[in-house]
Amino acid sequence: MRPLHLAIAAAIHLSAGIAHAELPDGFVHLRSVDPTILQEMRYAGAHNFVGRTIPGYEAAECILTRKAAEALKGVQNRLREQFLTLKVYDCYRPKRAVSAFVTWSEVAGDEDTKAEFYPDIDKSRLFESGWIARRSGHSRGSSVDLTIVKLPPPAQRAYKAGELLIPCDEPKGVRFPDNSLDFGTGYDCFSLKSYTADTSVSEDAQTNRALLVELMAEAGFRNYRREWWHFDLIDEPFPKTYFDFPITAPEP
């Protein structure tokens, strides 16, 4: 294996305004392993708890270790038999993005998205409450945030900066319209209702959470109990390495 620092320092070039870069050994773009998995990379845009594109997200692409990507492909094969599909919200996350979360949390004010993503918790308590980590497993490349969507995927309107925000733990049909099945809350919803085992959400949401946890467990992933959407590959290939290469698009 060639030294990782050489891969990470690979030259980035621009083609039609899209950033491309060589990935470190062991990493792949998810679409190269399974192009049928939907991608809605929230940190590459403004619809996230910070309210803007996060540093390191130079393209709206899911990058994972090959092992994690191939495990997801197995889950996708199972779901497609039921006319369902995975949709990923976040995959590999550069360390610089995690640092940006820390910096944001320490700045007074800057709460433009509070009404949707953390309506009932003070921004200063997001770390101590376990909603954001100062070191994220996402930076090791084998963690993923995801949901399940019906096939064919229902239409989903685009998020508009400055629009009226609805709390993410309101019922489906009231909160921002995601085209996923009902999981009880929106993605990155800092609410007790996001705990995977929470029973205050609808029966449909509890059933959908159980299905996702079961299929992901069979593929070797462990769920994070505070977030129904977050899963870590148990036997990850880089358990002690936190990467910081930028997220870029695959070569055309």
Q: Spelled out in words, what is the top-level CATH class assigned to the domain 28-233?
A: alpha beta
**Tell me, what's the pLDDT at 9?**
38
**Tell me, what's the pLDDT at 13?**
37
From 3-12, 19-28, 177-186, 205-214, the region with the lowest mean pLDDT: 3-12
Mean pLDDT of 125-143: 90
**Tell me, what's the pLDDT at 108?**
83
Confidence at 19, pLDDT banded by 50, 70, 90: low
Q: Is the pLDDT of residue 132 over 90?
A: no
- Residue 43: both structure tokens together: 């940190």
Catalytic hit among 40, 58, 61, 227: 227
Quick check: pTM over 0.85?
Answer: yes
Residues 6+ apart with CB under 8 A from 53: 43, 44, 45, 46
The verdict on whether 22 is a catalytic residue reads no
